[in-house]
């Protein structure tokens, strides 16, 4: 089959991808023009730019040996020149696709992935045919519903998901029982789960239905652990009955019907990019090893090789010097009398 004529390049196919977690700094959330870049480019960046998921997800293609460069199996860390080298994934040549941005309203019973080994419907099935290959930004569990952003913009995906950048996700949560001050305080201070304490959340718009004995409230998070909301609320004795994601950063679900999808408007895309730039601008810059904050002093003992404070060792006393606070005993006859009086 000639290159560029496969279903992948007809934009009908979908590729497998892992969840995005982290990638290099994002000064601007738009992907660079990889196809016209001069010189070699890291393969995970090429795969991400071709719409095969985030760069972290693209690493899985390299680990499993599904990527070749000029016929040779590539490994993690390899680079290629997109103008000269032939890069293939599963035997099909890589092609750069235009950036695309879609919003889907995921219903319950749909998995937020590109491929499900159990054959369950995925969020990809909510999109029309003949559009670029897109990956979901983050996940919603099987029972949850709501907003899922779909794109092939790996840099934007990173900015919206990386925990160090703190992009907000807002949910409308319905739980069994009343969300009192104890439950609210636990969510806002962080709930201790098996893997550690969660980041503080923001709780708002609490409405308690005494007849149904349920509470509806909004919850804003800046991280996305696996089933985090359900596990956190179960830990405080308020099991979730319904969970809907209604916002990601500046993007809101609005009135999009459940099970439907639509392309984002240009103003929405620009708002996402502006949001990503603002997140990156607020990100704390790490200092080089050995440098100090202005106005601070270097410790008196400093290991110049490790650029860390040296371990303070207790002073050792030479043998025969006696215990602290005592004088060395000398024979009586050899003592000098400096006071001028006899003993």
Report, as residue numbers or ranges, the catalytic residues.
Answer: 141
Distance CA 227, CA 177 (A): 20
Q: What is the DSSP string of 59-118?
A: HHHHHTT-EEETTEEP-TT-EE-TTTS-EEETTEE-------EEEEEEPTT-BSSS--TT
Task: Count the alpha carbons within 13 Å of 223 in the hemisphere toward its beta carbon.
Answer: 15
Burial class (CB in 10 A: 0-12, 13-18, 19+), 132: middle
- Residue among 200, 188, 191, 201 nearest 234 (CA): 191
- Within 8 A by CB and 6+ apart from 329, the residues are none
Could you tell me which residues come within 8 angstroms of residue 201 by beta carbon, excluding any fewer than 6 positions away? 187, 188, 190, 219, 220, 221, 222
- Distance, in Å, from the CA atom of 335 to the CA atom of 103, rounded to the nearest integer, reads 95
Nearest to 127 by CA among 145, 103, 153: 103
CB neighbourhood size of 339 (10 A): 7
CA pair distance 219, 184, nearest whole angstrom: 10
Segment (H or E) for 87 = strand 87-89
Q: What does the alpha-carbon distance between residue 202 and residue 199 come to, in Å, rounded to a whole number?
A: 10
């Amino acid at each position: 089959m000639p290159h560029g004529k496969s279903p992948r390049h007809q934009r009908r196919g979908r590729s497998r991808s892992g969840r995005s977690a982290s990638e290099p700094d994002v000064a601007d959330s738009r992907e660079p023009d990889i196809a016209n870049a001069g010189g070699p480019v890291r393969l995970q960046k090429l795969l991400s730019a071709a719409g095969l998921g985030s760069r972290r997800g693209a690493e899985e293609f390299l680990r499993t040996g599904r990527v070749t460069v000029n016929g040779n199996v590539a490994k993690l860390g390899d680079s290629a020149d997109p103008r000269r080298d032939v890069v293939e994934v599963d035997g099909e040549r890589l092609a750069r696709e235009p950036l695309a941005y879609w919003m889907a309203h995921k219903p319950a019973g749909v998995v937020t992935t590109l491929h499900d080994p159990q054959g369950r419907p995925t969020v990809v099935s909510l999109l029309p045919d003949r559009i670029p290959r897109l990956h979901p930004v983050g996940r919603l569990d099987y029972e949850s519903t709501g907003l899922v952003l779909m794109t092939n913009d790996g840099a934007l995906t990173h900015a919206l998901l990386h925990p160090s950048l703190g992009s907000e996700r807002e949910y409308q949560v319905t739980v069994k029982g009343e969300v009192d001050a104890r439950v609210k305080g636990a969510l806002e201070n962080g709930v201790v789960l098996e893997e550690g304490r969660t980041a503080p959340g923001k709780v708002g718009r609490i409405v308690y239905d005494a007849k149904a004995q349920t509470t509806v409230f909004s919850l804003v998070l800046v991280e996305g652990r696996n089933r985090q909301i359900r596990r956190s609320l179960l830990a405080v004795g308020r099991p979730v009955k319904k969970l809907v994601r209604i916002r990601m950063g500046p993007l809101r679900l609005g009135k999009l019907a459940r099970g439907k999808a639509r392309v984002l408007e240009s103003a929405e895309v620009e708002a996402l990019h502006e949001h990503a730039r603002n997140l990156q601008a607020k990100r704390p810059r790490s200092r080089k090893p050995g440098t100090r904050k202005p106005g601070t002093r270097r410790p008196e003992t400093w290991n110049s090789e490790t650029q860390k404070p040296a371990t303070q060792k207790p002073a050792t006393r030479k043998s025969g010097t006696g215990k602290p606070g005592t004088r060395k005993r000398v024979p009586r006859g050899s003592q000098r009398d400096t006071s001028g009086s006899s003993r």
